[in-house]
């Protein structure tokens, strides 16, 4: 039964199974459990939130369960980690004209500058969803 809610939550936040993400509270503060701020959902049907550091038993599990409930109640929010391509991997970005472009990550300055200041995306669809956001970043770059 909980799997339906977890699936909807993951769809709403564009998360996939075992994708790492952070958690923020309503005030925008990052949430840490046992000094760990990186989490993933590893089991949709069982509703299993795990920490990336691998908290597996004892009281921290209760904290993870409570954090999952707060996420589902929208008292906590997902903070997705930005996509960072590996060497030789194709990525997509928005040009200053608003056109979706793609390139292969070769580790040159242009790759890192796009990643840091504009944003790069794993898919063309993800880039298209972020056109207006990226154009705002381009405007900031032009002003500097």
Q: Where are the domains of the chain?
A: 2-80, 90-143
Q: What contacts 29, CB < 8 A, 6 or more positions away?
A: none
pTM comes to 0.60
> What is d(CA 130, CA 132) in angstroms, rounded to the nearest whole number?
6
Return per-residue pLDDT of the chain as tens, 144 residues.
Answer: 567 888 888 888 878 888 888 899 999 899 887 777 888 887 777 666 776 665 444 445 566 788 888 888 888 999 888 889 999 999 999 999 999 999 999 999 999 999 998 999 999 988 998 899 899 999 988 887
């Amino acid at each position: 039964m909980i799997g339906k809610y977890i699936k909807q939550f993951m769809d709403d936040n564009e998360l996939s199974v075992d994708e790492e993400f952070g958690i923020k509270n309503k005030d925008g503060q990052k949430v840490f459990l046992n000094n760990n701020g990186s989490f993933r959902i590893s089991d949709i049907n069982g509703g299993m939130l795990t920490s990336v550091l691998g908290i597996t038993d004892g009281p921290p599990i209760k904290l993870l369960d409570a954090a999952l409930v707060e996420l589902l109640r929208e008292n906590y929010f997902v903070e997705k980690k930005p996509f960072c391509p590996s060497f030789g991997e194709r990525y997509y970005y928005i040009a200053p004209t608003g056109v979706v472009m793609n390139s292969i990550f070769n580790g040159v300055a242009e790759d890192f500058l796009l990643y840091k200041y504009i944003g790069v995306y794993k898919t063309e669809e993800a880039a298209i969803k972020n056109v207006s956001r990226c154009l705002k970043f381009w405007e900031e770059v032009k002003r500097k």
